[in-house]
Amino acid sequence: MSYLDYNSTTPIDPRVLDAMLPYLKDNFGNSSSTHHFGQIINKRVKQARSQIAHFINSESSEIIFTSGATEAINIALKGIAESYNNKGNHIITVSTEHKAVLDTCKDLERKGFEVTFLPIKENGLLCLDFLEESIRTDTILVSVMFVNNETGVIQPIKKIAEIVHEKGALFMTDATQALGKIEVDVQELGIDLLCFSGHKMYAPKGIGALFVRRSDKTVNLTPQTHGGGHEIGLRSGTLNVPGIIALAKACEISSQEMTENRALVSELRDTLEYELLKIGQTSLNGDLTKRIYNTTNICFKGKDANVLIGRMKTIAVSNGSACSSAVFEPSHVLKSMGLSDDDALASLRFSLGKYNTIEDVKLVVETIKKLTEPQSKYA
Position 353, amino acid: G
Torsion from C-alpha of 31, 35, 36, 41, nearest 10 degrees: -10
- Is CATH 3.40.50.970 the right assignment for the domain spanning 2-8+257-372? no
- 126 close to 118: Cβ distance less than 8 angstroms: yes
- 183 close to 157: Cβ distance less than 8 angstroms: no
Question: What is the distance between the alpha carbons of residues 7 and 149, in angstroms, rounded to a whole number?
Answer: 6
Question: What is the distance between the alpha carbons of residues 18 and 13, in angstroms, rounded to a whole number?
Answer: 9
| Closest by CA position to 60, among listed 231, 258, 257 | 231
3-state secondary structure of 178: coil
pLDDT of residue 10: 98
**HSE-up of residue 104 (Cα within 13 Å, Cβ side):** 25
pLDDT of residue 223: 87
pLDDT of residue 315: 96
Measure the N-to-C terminal CA separation of the chain; round to a whole number of Å. Answer: 22
Distances (CA, A) of 42 to 29, 45, 66: 9, 5, 16
Instruction: Give per-residue burial for 202-232: e unless 16+ CB within 10 Å, then b.
Output: bbbeebbbbbbbeeeeebebebbbeeeebbe
Assigned CATH class of 14-252: alpha beta
Question: What is the distance between the alpha carbons of residues 325 and 316, in angstroms, rounded to a whole number?
Answer: 14
86 Cβ contact list (under 8 Å, min separation 6): none
Phi first, then psi: give them for residue 46, nearest 5 degrees.
-60, -40
What residue ranges in 11-105 does DSSP mark as E strands? Answer: 63-66, 90-94
3-state secondary structure of 196: strand
pLDDT of residue 378: 47
- 99 close to 88: Cβ distance less than 8 angstroms: no
Question: What is the distance between the alpha carbons of residues 41 and 29, in angstroms, rounded to a whole number?
Answer: 6
Catalytic residue positions?
323
Helix (H) or strand (E) holding 300: strand 295-300
- 161 close to 191: Cβ distance less than 8 angstroms: yes
Angle, vertex CA 29, rays to CA 28 and CA 31, nearest 5: 125
Q: What is the mean pLDDT of each run of 10 residues along the chain (379 residues)?
A: 97 98 89 81 94 98 96 97 95 97 98 97 97 98 98 98 97 98 98 98 98 90 86 84 97 98 98 97 96 98 95 92 63 96 97 98 96 64
Question: What is the distance between the alpha carbons of residues 123 and 288, in angstroms, rounded to a whole number?
Answer: 8
Question: What is the distance between the alpha carbons of residues 196 and 147, in angstroms, rounded to a whole number?
Answer: 11
pLDDT of residue 33: 77
Question: What is the distance between the alpha carbons of residues 70 and 93, in angstroms, rounded to a whole number?
Answer: 16
pLDDT of residue 329: 87
- 8 close to 324: Cβ distance less than 8 angstroms: no
Position 233, amino acid: G
pLDDT of residue 327: 56
Domain map (residue ranges) of the chain:
2-8+257-372, 14-252
3-state helix, strand and coil shares in percent for the chain, rounded to the nearest 5: 40, 15, 40
Residues 353, 357, 358, 360, CA torsion sign: negative
- 77 close to 142: Cβ distance less than 8 angstroms: no
Phi first, then psi: give them for residue 33, nearest 5 degrees.
-70, 145
